[in-house]
């Protein structure tokens, strides 16, 4: 719908001139990196660099089969590029849907444009809930008030008369107006912050920080171990330079957790794609990790538990008030409100704005803080009259019949407004004063059909739910009672203690709150966070913005105000509250599975580093060639880790990722390394025994490592499901085939001819497996880790 106004705005020629001069609101792409940046970032990585250097060393020896690990460079790069490009495509397409589109006035008409279409000096129209998208100066103000607390920390909304400055990143809480853009693009106050908040990134994440810590340590270990291995193989073991280079590659390649970084990136990107398929826009990629840690969900009632719109119910007159007079008052209020909220829209649908509107002397737009709106008119008799509409428990006397009737109606889940005439003009500091109630306006609010099932899911998952609403406490309690999960007893937030400690105690031990102001919502989120909770906040209105911004995970509805969508980390574009369990489940899947496979990669890194160290200290030939390490990784780590990273996982993530991974990775790695090296010493042939004996010793040592490493996989895969058991069995059968088939024996340089040596390796591997099993049980006992052998079915998320 277009609106006409006296101040026409720019002409097409003026817009074209500013575009030509580069005075356009150009912003970075929502998904951050371009396709070229994605390719570059996935090819030129630290791990690919290390593997490429080792590949060059191996190729210089002329042994092509031992260079098979070089395929990891191609695989790592290709899979990472494909997944991130998929995620970028998903983000870009969803961002177009979820993007706030400001109303720009040009040549006298206003319509919605994309943010990037704003040019310098454009006139931008705003109303309640709209975000200020570029810096500007107010040109027209109709009781315009802007909340700048996200920028300045000031809690009170600022009146913005014509000529005052507005900053990007703030948002309108009441009134309406227009402002002229004075700074666009990167020059605007919050442009860089907004771009960073929406960027596809893996930073600011405990998970990725932990992985980076592991990689840094490994990088520092690689250089001295590599040099020491070459020195020992050349000057102590008596090998030529080719064999020394192969030994170095065989020692260093398994120390690089090449798949861990890849699987982390793939899991995050796949999470974005999966959520995108449910019309869920992830505006910050680390939000996926936050999903897994949520243990409290704070939900607004209107627009979250109930549908966003309301419908008119009835008009109940008070003390014999004239119906015609009340209806005319409602029509005049509708005519005076250019940007009505949902309640006023429902009223105006039945009592449309008056055609012969009364002159307006003053207006008081609705705000969530004061709970009422109104206007002072010049009435038909020439006298000033102030009509107000709002919450009965705010406008009516507490002991009045109107207040009592409104409370009874609200207890049935209805939305009730009181309309009447006020003692003072609405712009008076003492407004509204005593209000003469004329009628109760009853509105119907519809509970979302999937709300009860969604709340039941959270209860089953151990996620606490707090309903915090600005509506009447009795009405909120009636709605939550009808859902059957949350307590029907609602606390009136106006009665909450001012003392921070007592306030936090009340928030912790109660579930439903009504008459909550925007700043109380923010304080509630902060109180829960101070008590160690990870808080998700859902909302759709301007009164939810502050709490959404402060929550660990802000979730906005797609039909909500532009300000809520701008500050939220996740936007449910189809407004489906039932999507939230899928969002939480996706976060748990990603984080839980990355931690699971990290155990595999860290164990491999530790036993590889220790084995290389033992070889240096004992000054013996390195037992393996690079091809042996490559086949070891296929079925004990690579393929199983990929499948495990995609599996369902409903366990809530906990802090301390690195510490937990080390609890299993270090002892398991030590056990595999010791068992393998002891086997090698037992089967090591005498110097000069020949190539056949050396290969038989390598085969026996490799058998020990594979048996022990496969049991690490068996432990990490717990709790078992049929497909996990099959995964472990298939891995074992694959190695049985490799060791028994003459073709693979020849291809992978194996020799099983020495039955005694092979038996020694298998027994040592089984002993290692028993010790790894014991380690798993002891870790559970000492550190309180779950000791579940078999999967117990968790409650499913509501069906989509």
Q: Which residues are catalytic?
A: 300
CA 311 to chain CA mean position, Å = 34
Q: Where are the beta strands (DSSP E) in 58-147?
A: 103-106, 109-112, 123-126, 135-147
Cβ contacts of residue 95 below 8 Å, gap of 6+? 30, 31, 198, 281
Burial of 382 (0-12, 13-18, 19+ CB in 10 A): exposed
Give, in order, the Cα–Cα distances in Å from 530 to each of 236, 500, 507, 535, 584. Answer: 60, 11, 12, 10, 22
Nearest to 342 by CA among 427, 474, 431, 444: 444
Cα(708)–Cα(766) distance, integer angstroms: 7
Cβ-contact 678, 734 below 8 angstroms: no
What is the longest distance spanned by two Cα atoms in the chain?
Answer: 119
Q: Please check whether residue 45 is in contact with residue 78, taking contact to mean a CB–CB distance below 8 angstroms.
A: no
CB 375 within 8 A of CB 364: yes
The residues, ordered by sequence, that sit 6+ positions from 45 with a Cβ below 8 Å of its Cβ are 76, 261
Residues sharing a CB contact under 8 Å with residue 729, sequence separation 6 or more, in sequence order:
none
**Do 671 and 773 contact (CB within 8 A), yes or no?**
no
Residues with Cβ within 8 Å of residue 150, at least 6 apart in sequence:
169, 170, 171, 545, 546, 549, 567
Neighbours of 449 (CB within 10 A): 10
φ/ψ region of 192 (left if φ > 0, alpha if ψ in -120 to 50, else beta) reads: alpha
Answer for the pair 108, 5: CB distance below 8 angstroms, yes or no: yes
> What 3-state DSSP class applies to 6?
coil
CA dihedral over 680, 681, 687, 693, signed as positive or negative: negative
DSSP-based three-state secondary structure for 225 = helix
CA torsion angle 191 194 195 198 (round to 10): -170
User: Within 13 A of 71's CA, how many CA atoms are on the CB side?
Assistant: 12
Q: How far apart are CA 748 and CA 497, in angstroms?
A: 73
Q: Is-contact 217 243, C-beta < 8 A? A: no
Beta strands 165-166 and 135-147, pairing class? antiparallel
> Can you tell me the distance from the alpha carbon of 276 to that of 273, in angstroms, rounded to the nearest whole number?
5
d(CA 548, CA 554) in angstroms, rounded, equals 5
Question: Which stretches of 569-638 are DSSP H helices?
Answer: 579-618, 626-633
Element (H, E) at 782: helix 755-783
Place of tokens 């790069």: 77
Contact criterion met (CB below 8 Å) for 162 and 178? no
Could you give phi then psi for residue 779, rounded to 5 degrees?
-60, -40
* Residue environment code for 665-684, b if the CB has 16+ CB neighbours within 10 A, otherwise e: bebbbbbbbbbbbbbbebbb
Phi-psi label, residue 504: left if phi above 0, alpha if psi -120 to 50, beta otherwise: alpha
């Amino acid at each position: 719908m277009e609106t006409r106004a006296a101040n026409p705005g720019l002409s097409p020629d003026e817009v074209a001139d500013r575009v030509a001069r580069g005075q356009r609101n150009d912003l970075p792409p929502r998904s951050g990196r371009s396709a070229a940046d994605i390719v570059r970032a996935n090819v030129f990585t630290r791990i690919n660099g290390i593997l490429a250097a080792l590949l060059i060393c191996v190729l210089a020896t002329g042994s092509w089969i031992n260079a098979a690990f070089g395929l990891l460079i191609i695989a790592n790069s290709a899979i990472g590029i494909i997944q991130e490009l998929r995620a970028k495509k998903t983000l870009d397409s969803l961002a177009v849907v979820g993007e706030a589109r400001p109303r720009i006035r040009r040549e006298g008409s206003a319509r919605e444009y994309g943010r990037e279409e704003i040019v310098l000096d454009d006139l931008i129209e705003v109303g309640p809930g709209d975000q200020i998208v570029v810096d500007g100066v107010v040109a027209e103000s109709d009781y315009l008030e802007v909340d700048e607390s996200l920028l300045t920390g000031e809690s009170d909304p600022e009146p913005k008369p014509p000529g005052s400055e507005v900053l990007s990143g703030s948002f309108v809480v009441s009134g309406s107006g227009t402002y002229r853009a004075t700074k666009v693009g990167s020059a605007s106050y919050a442009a860089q912050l907004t771009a960073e908040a929406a960027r596809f990134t893996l930073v600011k994440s405990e998970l990725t920080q932990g992985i980076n810590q592991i990689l840094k340590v490994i990088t520092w270990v690689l250089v001295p171990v590599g040099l020491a291995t070459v020195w020992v193989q050349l000057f102590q073991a008596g090998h030529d330079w080719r064999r020394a280079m192969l030994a170095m590659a065989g020692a260093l390649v398994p120390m690089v957790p090449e798949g861990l970084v890849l699987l982390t990136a793939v899991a995050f990107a796949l999470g974005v794609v999966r959520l995108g398929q449910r019309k869920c826009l992830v505006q910050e990629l680390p939000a996926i990790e936050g999903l897994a840690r949520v243990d409290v969900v704070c939900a607004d009632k209107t627009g979250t538990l109930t549908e966003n719109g309301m419908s008119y119910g009835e008009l109940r007159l008070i003390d014999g008030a004239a119906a015609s007079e009340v209806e005319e008052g409602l029509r005049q209020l509708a005519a005076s409100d250019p940007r009505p909220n949902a309640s006023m829209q429902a009223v105006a649908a039945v009592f449309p704005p008056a055609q012969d509107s009364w002159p307006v002397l003053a207006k008081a737009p609705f705000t969530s803080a004061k709970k009422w709106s109104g206007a002072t008119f010049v009435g038909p008799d020439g006298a000033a009259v102030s009509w107000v509409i709002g919450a009965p428990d705010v406008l009516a006397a507490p002991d009045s019949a109107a207040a009592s009737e409104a409370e009874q109606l609200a207890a049935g889940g209805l939305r009730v407004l009181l309309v009447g005439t006020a003692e003072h003009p609405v712009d008076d500091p003492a407004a509204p004063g005593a209000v003469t109630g004329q009628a109760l306006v009853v509105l119907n609010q519809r509970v979302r059909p999937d709300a009860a099932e969604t709340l039941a899911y959270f209860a089953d998952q151990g996620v606490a739910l707090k309903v915090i609403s600005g509506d009447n406490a009795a009405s909120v309690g009636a709605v939550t009672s009808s859902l059957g999960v949350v307590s029907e007893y609602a606390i009136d937030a106006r009665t909450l203690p001012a003392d921070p400690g007592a306030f936090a105690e009340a928030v912790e031990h109660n579930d439903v709150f009504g008459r909550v102001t925007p700043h109380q919502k923010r304080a509630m989120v902060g109180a829960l966070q101070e008590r160690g909770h990870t808080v998700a906040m859902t909302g759709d209105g301007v009164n939810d913005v502050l709490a959404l911004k402060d929550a660990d995970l802000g979730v906005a509805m797609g039909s909500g105000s532009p300000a809520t969508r701008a500050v939220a980390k996740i936007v449910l574009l189809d407004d489906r509250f039932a999507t939230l369990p899928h969002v939480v489940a996706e976060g748990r899947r990603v984080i839980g599975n990355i931690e699971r496979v990290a155990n595999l990669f860290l164990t491999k890194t530790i036993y590889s580093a220790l084995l290389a160290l033992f070889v240096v200290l004992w000054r013996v030939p390195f037992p393996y060639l690079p091809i042996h390490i490559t086949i070891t990784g296929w079925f004990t780590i690579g393929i199983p880790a990929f499948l495990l990273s995609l599996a369902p996982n409903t366990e809530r993530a906990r802090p301390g990722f690195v510490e937990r991974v080390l609890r299993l990775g270090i002892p398991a790695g030590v056990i595999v390394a010791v068992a393998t090296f002891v086997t090698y010493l037992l089967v090591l042939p005498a110097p000069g025994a020949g190539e056949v004996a050396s290969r038989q010793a390598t085969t026996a040592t490799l058998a020990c490592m594979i048996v022990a490493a496969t049991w690490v996989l068996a432990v990490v895969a717990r709790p078992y499901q049929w497909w996990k058991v099959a995964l472990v069995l298939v891995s074992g059968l694959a190695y049985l085939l490799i060791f028994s088939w003459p073709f693979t024996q020849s291809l992978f340089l194996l020799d099983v001819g020495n039955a005694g040596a092979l038996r020694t390796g298998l027994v040592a591997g089984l002993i290692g497996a028993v010790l790894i099993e014991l380690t798993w049980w002891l870790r559970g006992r000492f550190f309180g880790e779950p000791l579940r052998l078999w999967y117990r079915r968790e409650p499913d998320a509501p069906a989509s």
